[in-house]
Amino acid sequence: MTSIPPTEKVGAVVPAAGGGERLPGPVAKQFRELGGTPILHRTLWCLAEEGRVGFIALALPAAEVASFEPPAGLPVPVRPVAGGTERQYSVVNGLSALPPEVEWVIVHDGARPLLPPGLVEACLAGAQETGAAIAALPVSDTVKRANEGEFAEATVPRGDLWLAQTPQVARRELLERALALAAAEGFEGTDEAVLLEAAGIRVKLVPGSKFNFKITTPEDLAMAEAYLARAQGGGTAAPPPVGGVL
């Protein structure tokens, strides 16, 4: 059986400093309500409730850091820090706010509030082999490469394609090394795995969940609302039409 690191050695970095431009509204995306609770509070609860994380560093827009209040009763301490101009730099800032005893880091997007129970543990277990693991989903649709964005130029074999999600877990020293290497080379990636791969670290793919989607657009928020309504027994909400099609 794979041993999971003890809670006090595991810290989470939650990048939540994005502008949320694709989900415009009266408040920033991370503070929009989902089922009556701010998206970010839900994400923090999901991470904290599993009992695998001893500390959370939360990267927020700089203007929100001083006023941020974690949800009442959250069983894990949260340290808010200012995010960076790109997700990668928000992760760097969060990482530097984790206590020295943290040896394993779980990066989980603030915008993924439907993190299923067990996925943090599965990723931590998966990371024991090489020091790094991410939640990901095998691609099930046929994949097209577009020509100038309008016409299908080629069909890409999907057999070995996966969609990366978070949690993304790594041994702290490996993630720090990968981030330092990326900084030295001026490389910016959209997840931690690409930086770890570039540093020569093998990243294990752990089956994620379709429900663990990132809330990016108004359609995503509507889907999350429908999912929660059903999960909470609040009716028989069917998934709403997306782009006019069920």
Which amino acid belongs to residue 43?
T
Alpha-helix runs per DSSP H in the chain: 39-49, 87-96, 119-127, 172-185, 192-198, 218-231
Work out how close the CB of 155 gets to ligand C5P at its nearest, in angstroms, rounded to a whole number.
Answer: 26
Work out how close the CB of 166 gets to ligand C5P at its nearest, in angstroms, rounded to a whole number.
Answer: 8
- Cα-based distances in Å from 146 to 28, 151, 152, 173, 196: 32, 5, 5, 39, 28
Determine if 110 is a binding residue for ligand C5P (CB under 6 A): yes
Our CB check for ligand C5P shows the closer of 125 and 196 to be 196
Determine if 84 is a binding residue for ligand C5P (CB under 6 A): yes
Binding test (CB under 6 A) with ligand C5P, winner from 11, 70, 80, 83: 83
HSE-CB of 130 using CA atoms within 13 angstroms: 15
Q: Are 107 and 168 in contact (CB under 8 A)?
A: yes
Work out how close the CB of 91 gets to ligand C5P at its nearest, in angstroms, rounded to a whole number.
Answer: 7
Q: Are 147 and 177 in contact (CB under 8 A)?
A: no
Residues 31-70 as x/- pattern, contact with ligand C5P by CB under 6 A: ----------------------------x-----------
Positions touching ligand C5P (CB under 6 A) are 15-18, 30, 59, 83-87, 90, 109-111, 190, 214, 216
